[in-house]
Amino acid sequence: MRYDIIIVGAGPCGIFTALEVKKHNPNKKILMIEKGNPIEKRICPKRRRGICTHCKPCNITTGFAGAGAYSDGKLSLSPDVGGNLPEYLGYEKTQELINYVDNIYLKFGADKTVYGIGKEKEIEEIRKKAIRSNLKLVECPIRHMGTEEGYAIYTRIEKYLKEIEVNLSFKNPVKDIILDENRNIKGVIADKEYYSDQVVIAVGRDGSDWLKDLCIKHDINTETGDVDIGVRVETRNEIMEELNNAMYESKLIYYTPTFDDKVRTFCTNPSGEVSTEYYDGNLAVVNGHSYKSESLKSENTNFALLVTKHFTKPFNSPIEYGMHIAKLGNMLSGNKVLIQRYGDFKRGRRTTGERLYRNNIIPTLKDTVPGDLSLVLPYRIMKDVDEMLIALDNVAPGLASDETLLYGVEVKFYSNKVITDNNFETNIKGLYVGGDGAGITRGLMQASVNGVVLGRNLS
């Protein structure tokens, strides 16, 4: 069981590490170990029958292609979005690699349409409205694969990896790493011991808690990461029509007047659906996705509003903090997602089934529990969300209407950021990290680029 390279995690970072190594050195013997299912078995019963069966592990958050790819599959084509790679590679090099990775996705069947370019006049008008409301518009071209088309694209990639003789091991969670007496990497322990002098840990957000524990156990250097907590907003397509048509995904950043906290829009899904993700088997958090097929589109647009907090010492537990807030929501909802009308949110009252029923905006996530997010979210985050919605209403009039729906809680589980050199090697010789779980990237494209850099370094 000896390999040239072992990759832990079959998300975008791990996938592109393997692709790039094999491109430069086809004879390298690679093992990719993944705790979830292969792509063909990543079937979510809830998306078909509307009932969550609590698959372990969750087929939305784990498995080949990772969580972000399977939930919506948006490729952000700018270094300004999706992670910290420009800090390691420089801005121009990051853009060059984004273009390189984008061409690979096109080769495997991604839609050639790019949103956010060719409509400069419309975007200029949106920018003017944003500036008037102290919002920063981040212009980022987007290639949208879509939930169902992303599945097809990654099916082709998985098949190709097998053809080039990458060994894929699924439903096989890694328990630990193996070090020699000099603290050099020697392999990993999963269902058995696998040996290699080069190991890449490329777990996503679902694996961030595991990676944190691994870093503590083996004294792998880290620094405290950010915490992103907020809600998912759902409104009618008509309210977001100008932004959706011009940019598809409008990325806006706001620094709130009360606390000067950073709030951002994230993962916009025009004509999409709100969905539930489960972590650790039963912790329900909210997310969203959208399909390419016209027949599967809804009448609503959803997006996240995330408040980013960076804590200082002695705080060192961003994952536990986020989970604690998510657990409060689960406690009130019976392990489901809470939903509240914005009108009730700002009046400090619980949403009832009767008020939800008379709404013009019909929820796309059906098995929610009407409730009161003020019993879950800290006051500071509540205030940030409220002020952000008021500012956004100047860009998309009607967004701050009483009927706008807020789903909670949305949490992005970023690990404490693993400290590496510019080759993404940790303080343990031969152990490399990459992707969202390591706190280096925050999206599908930069995670893929991170994999390309790792692959070139290890070829």
67-81, 114-128, 406-420 — most confident range:
114-128
Domains of the chain from N-terminus onward: 5-110+145-223+418-458 (3.50.50.60), 120-142+226-412 (no CATH)
Residue type for position 275: S
Distance between CA atoms of 194 and 188, rounded to whole angstroms? Answer: 5
Helix (H, G, I), strand (E, B) or coil at 176: strand
Average pLDDT in the 117-127 region? 94
Mean pLDDT of 342-352: 96
Assess contact for 17 and 434: CB atoms under 8 A: yes
Report pLDDT digits (tens) over 124-150.
Answer: 999 999 999 999 999 999 999 887 888
* Type and span of the H or E element at 23: helix 12-24
Q: What is the pLDDT of residue 317?
A: 81
Rounded to whole angstroms, the Cα distance separating 129 from 126 reads 5
And the tokens for 406? 């807020």
- Pair of tokens at residue 335: 């392990």
Helix H or strand E encompassing 155: helix 147-163
pLDDT at 47 over 80: no
412 neighbors 309 (Cβ within 8 angstroms) = no
> Rg of the Cα trace of the chain?
21
For position 162, what pLDDT does the model report?
A: 98
| Helical (H) or strand (E) element with 374 | none
Whether pLDDT at 208 is above 90:
no
Lay out the sheet containing 185-189: strands in order across: 176-179, 185-189, 193-195
A 10 A CB-CB count for 125 gives: 14
pLDDT given at position 69: 67
Q: How far apart are CA 56 and CA 342, in angstroms?
A: 34
- What pLDDT is stored for residue 281 in this prediction? 65
DSSP 90-148: -HHHHHHHHHHHHHHHHHTT-----BTSS-HHHHHHHHHHHHHTTEEEE---EEE--HH
162 by DSSP, 3-state: which?
helix
pLDDT number for residue 54 = 74
Residue 420 banded pLDDT, cuts 50, 70, 90: very high
- The token pair that represents 104 in the structure block: 């690979």
Residue 133's region, left for phi above 0, alpha for psi from -120 to 50, else beta, is alpha
Averaged pLDDT for residues 325-331:
95
3-state secondary structure of 88: helix
CA-CA distances (angstroms) from residue 379 to 32, 258, 345, 373? 43, 12, 12, 10
Q: What is the pLDDT of residues 272-284, one digit of tens each?
A: 999 998 887 689 9
pLDDT at 52 over 90: no
